[in-house]
Amino acid sequence: MARVAFIGLGNMGGGMAANLAKAGHDVRAFDLSTEALDRAKAKGCLVVGSAEEAVEAVEAVITMLPAGRHVREVYDRAVIGKAPASATLIDCSTIDVTTAREEIEKARAAGYRMVDAPVSGGIAAADAGTLTFMVGGTEEAFKRAEPFLDIMGRAVIHAGGPGAGQAAKICNNMLLGASMVATCETFVLAQKLGLDLQTFFDISSKASGQCWSMTSYCPVPGVGPETPADRDYEGGFAAALMLKDLRLAMEAAQDVDAYTPMGAHAEELYARFAEALGGAGKDFSAIIKMIDDSWRAPAGSEAPAPPVTNSKG
């Protein structure tokens, strides 16, 4: 069993580190939050006082941090040049493609093998060890990272070279955000046209309109399988995180001059829902509340709708 550094023990990282410890690895855990460290200790990790201490004499470094700036800061200050050059570096955070590629290049220049390995699946999947990992990096770096990722996930897919994991993640989530909005407005229209929503679900989930947002994650309470909609949109994948991923997708689209009007529209709608209407902490399917007039914020309290444009203005 290996000695592994795990940095970033929040909602996702906490469960992931616990699964590595449960599998018998010697997990050296660090986070800025003492509550997160206490939880990691209770789950079998050895808590240390700094990121630099965590990476001493390890075979792998795994990070699960909020955003690109945290990843850059931690790798530049405490990982690259501090961990043994034989250590495999695995960043599982969802960050921008540019930062991911830059950090992998810095690591490569210092003699490390590093991958970007963002995940699909929420907190429950992190706890259960059933995440999907999309991995970017060389074949050799992927092969070294795979045994650790296998413990934390159900599917580990090599997406391509450095940054390909982040690219796959934001492309997938741009599609998810746009398809969720489309699913929500479809149900609202169906209701206004007098359709029974369970009957419409039964039809559309077997017809050409079917998509994951409808069939597996239906945004209407009491319709389809059990989803966050049945728990007043608590838990699940927060609208704030969907907004973050849509913004990363729009940044990437701008960088490579890709025309993404549906993604841009989804970003505007999620910004309005999460930031102007206070929906940030709700599951992302709760955007149906904004689309259906009867579920909108009380009259008079709603912020004006922003103009809807696409990424080309």
Q: Which is nearer to ligand NAD, 186 or 285 (CB)?
A: 285
Q: Which is nearer to ligand NAD, 126 or 264 (CB)?
A: 126
Among 64, 141, 223, 249, binds ligand NAD (CB under 6 A): 64
How many residues touch ligand NAD (CB under 6 A)? 27
Q: Does 47 bind ligand NAD (CB under 6 A)?
A: no
Among 46, 110, 123, 195, binds ligand NAD (CB under 6 A): 123
Q: Does 246 bind ligand NAD (CB under 6 A)?
A: no
Q: Does 308 bind ligand NAD (CB under 6 A)?
A: no
**What residues from 126 to 185 belong to the interface with ligand NAD (CB under 6 A)?**
none
The DSSP annotation for the chain comes to --EEEEE--SHHHHHHHHHHHHTT-EEEEE-S-HHHHHHHHHTTPEE-S-HHHHTTT-SEEEE--SSHHHHHHHIIIIITTTS-TTPEEEE-S---HHHHHHHHHHHHHTT-EEEE--EES-HHHHHHT-EEEEEES-HHHHHHHHHHHHHHEEEEEEEESTTHHHHHHHHHHHHHHHHHHHHHHHHHHHHHTT--HHHHHHHHTTSTT--HHHHTS-SSTTSSS--GGGGTT-SSSBHHHHHHHHHHHHHHHHHTT---HHHHHHHHHHHIIIIISS-TTSBGGGGHHHHSGGGSSPTT-PPPPPPP--TT-
Q: Does 228 bind ligand NAD (CB under 6 A)?
A: no
Among 51, 55, 180, 218, binds ligand NAD (CB under 6 A): 51
Among 18, 20, 21, 36, binds ligand NAD (CB under 6 A): 36
CB of 248 to ligand NAD, least distance (A): 9
Among 10, 129, 163, 263, binds ligand NAD (CB under 6 A): 10
Q: Does 116 bind ligand NAD (CB under 6 A)?
A: no
Q: Does 100 bind ligand NAD (CB under 6 A)?
A: no
Which residues are tagged catalytic?
A: 169
Q: Does 13 bind ligand NAD (CB under 6 A)?
A: yes
Interface positions with ligand NAD (CB under 6 A)? 7-13, 30-33, 36, 51, 64-66, 70, 73-74, 93-94, 119, 122-123, 237, 241, 244
